[in-house]
Amino acid sequence: MLENSNCTAEFRTRRIYGNNDFSLIKDEPQDAIVSRLTKLLIYLSDNDKNGNWSYYLENGAPKWSEIAVSGQSQGGGMAAFIAQEHLVARVVGFSGGWDYSEGKKIATWYSNKSVTPDNLWYGTYHAKEPNAKVIKETYDALGIPENQIYKFNLPVPEGKKGHSNGVRNTGYTTQWIELLGKGN
């Protein structure tokens, strides 16, 4: 794997779109994030008429410009990968994404030009999580403005890990609203 500097991008392409050959995982195209999201939006559009879910579809595909993407850990990297390729309403990484390329360097795809502008990017991490430094480096590589990176530091409950604290600790409710928006 280390010989292929595009390995992590190929992995994420397979998990998100399901349309490339990547022998290291056996995901089927229907298991991909975009396929599952599209099917969910179609289902909700058909079964929850008051939800106006069809608004988030355009020609049978996600209407990315109206969708906020976010994820925690690996999901944060998935959200970032999507936001680089599609103009999304906003993108939030919760302690997310720290793929490496050769020589323990941040994967090259993080530095790719993004279709989603910088003002719509946000990232969080906990000061005490083991990969805090690497996550911050990843956010820097993505070009997330410094004032849109949230370094969380509330105490981590005993037996819990700082890595998931940003999505579990309700002490961050105010920040969640800032990050994800208030909705309509």
pLDDT band of 86, cuts 50, 70, 90: very high
* 138 vs 99, residue with greater confidence: 138
Is residue 112 predicted with pLDDT exceeding 50? yes
- Per-domain residue ranges of the chain: 7-180
Is residue 105 predicted with pLDDT exceeding 70? yes
Q: Give the percent of the chain with pLDDT over 90.
A: 69
Is residue 49 predicted with pLDDT exceeding 60? yes
The answer to whether the beta carbons of residues 75 and 163 sit under 8 Å apart is no
Average pLDDT over residues 24-46: 91
- CATH class, range 7-180: alpha beta
Which pTM was predicted?
0.91
Residue 107: partners with Cβ closer than 8 Å, 6 or more residues away: 5, 8, 9, 99, 100, 101
Is residue 79 predicted with pLDDT exceeding 70? yes
